[in-house]
Amino acid sequence: MSQTPIPNPRPGSAPRATRRRRAMAGAALALLVAATGCTSSQESPAPADRTGDTGAVTVSGPLCDALPSGDEPGNPDSLVGRAPDEALTWIPVLTTFEAAVRATGMAEELSAPGGLTILAPTDDAFRAKFSTANIDNLLLKDTATLRGLLREHLVAGTHPVAELVATSPVTTLAGTDLAVTSAGSGARLADRAETVCADYRASGARIHVIDKVLGNLPDTAHEEDHSH
């Protein structure tokens, strides 16, 4: 069964040190956005290039109802024809993943010839995996490790979620074999993560939003509970 992301704690519910660290993480992300020249947040996407498009984009998963739809900026149809890194900026639950793409300079790699499938963890997935200090270090200093982590979430070719299931296992750009099984209208990856809004289309890419971070980096989120 698909798992919906755990909502952020209500204001005041987290320990004081944890709230302070999260505020610092927000500042670090804001500095990264400014340093890399992110400009798309001030205007809606232009009409998509419909060349070769066979119809409206259909996304599926328990999170889709909470994401832009209809005529809202960032709706699935509006992202068709957009460069993959640009499309990521319009999916509001992917701010950490999108910041990681910019921090590592991997925007061009996402537009690789032959297309790419992007398995993009939500912001909640990153928070459940890494401590604030760990995320800050990856984004601002250890970009080589972060680049390797991102490649654990990339598969050559533009694969709809049903095709990932049918061709399982698939190999990531990091060289990892990833088992993919059916899970409702989506897929379960490595018996660990599930798609929560699958089958966004960008130019030369499929984007599947997932609820867990893949790869073998250690879990550090628990370290935040013991910070002072």
Residue 148 has pLDDT above 90, yes or no: yes
193-205: b (≥16 Cβ within 10 Å) or e? bbbbbbbbbbbbb
* Coil, strand or helix at 70: coil
Domain that holds residue 67: 20-37+57-214
Residue 18 has pLDDT above 50, yes or no: no
Residue 114 lies in a domain: yes
The predicted-structure confidence for 68-127, as pLDDT tens digits, reads as follows 999 999 999 999 999 999 999 999 999 999 999 999 999 999 999 999 999 999 999 999
Residue 175 lies in a domain: yes
- Cα 87 from Cα 187, distance rounded (Å): 22
Residue 228 lies in a domain: no
pLDDT of residue 223: 86
Q: Long-range contacts for 40-43 (Cβ within 8 Å, ≥24 apart)? A: 40/86, 40/89, 40/90, 41/89
- Cα 148 from Cα 110, distance rounded (Å): 14
Give the chain's mean pLDDT.
Answer: 83
pLDDT, average across residues 154-168: 97
pLDDT, average across residues 11-20: 44
Residue 100 lies in a domain: yes
Q: Residue 104 belongs to a domain with what CATH number?
A: 2.30.180.10
Residue 44 lies in a domain: no
Residue 20 has pLDDT above 80, yes or no: no
pLDDT, average across residues 151-174: 97
Say what percent of the chain tops pLDDT 90: 71
The count of domains in the chain is 1
Q: What is the pTM of this model?
A: 0.78
15 vs 134 pLDDT, higher one:
134
Residue 34 has pLDDT above 80, yes or no: no
Q: Where are the alpha helices (DSSP H) in 37-131?
A: 76-79, 84-89, 95-104, 107-110, 123-129
Residue 35 has pLDDT above 50, yes or no: no
Residue 52 lies in a domain: no
168 vs 53 pLDDT, higher one:
168
**Backbone dihedral angles phi then psi of residue 102, each to the nearest 5 degrees:** -70, -40
pLDDT of residue 40: 41
